Amino acid sequence: MNAKHQGAERSSVVDVGEVTARRKQLALIAHDNRKIDLLDWARFNRDTLAKHDLYGTGTTGGIIADELDLPVNRFLSGPLGGDQQVGAAIAEGRIDAVIFFWDPLEPHPHDVDVKALLRIAVVCNIVIACNRATADFVLSSPLLDQEYAPAYAHLPADVAVENSV
């Protein structure tokens, strides 16, 4: 069984009539200059976020937990390895989507970690929203409450093509 399916088994399942909705594992991350933006977005979307399992890096996770009174599983701070921990969780199939309000105009000492996180999200076919507009579309998508795990999600393109024939 691959990691994506293992993660799906651990998630809570809620039966809402004809549709079975699975709680998603959502990682929330924000650079210092964007923490207020993420908090404002999270407040607006609190009811939706409360239906899912939340993860956050260091300070961001603490702010979201305190301000929204929601449980947030916390990784280390981004510069201290939190971005890498989120990336590892993605690779292991334990994260379904990342809301990452990053600041592309400000240099960061851990830019390589940020790039690695963005890369693994794309490679593993994980939703990654880097601004409020995209985050709004993600949370309002009907796919958010459905199982979404294509069999090829964690395979490189050439392997996925070979296996799908």
- CA dist 123 and 22 (Å) reads 23
- CA dist 161 and 142 (Å) reads 27
What residues pair up with 27 in beta bridges, in sequence order? 55, 98
Q: Which long-range contacts (CB under 8 A, 24 or more apart) does 76-81 make?
A: 78/29, 78/31, 78/110, 78/113, 78/114, 79/108, 79/109, 79/110, 79/113, 81/113
Tokens linked to 119: 């890369």
**From the candidates 15, 32, 83, 158, which is the catalytic residue?**
83
Count other C-beta atoms under 10 Å from residue 135's C-beta: 25
Is 37 annotated in the active site?
no
* Distance (Å) of CA 162 to CA 5, 91, 152, 156, 165: 20, 21, 10, 10, 6
Active-site amino acid positions = 83
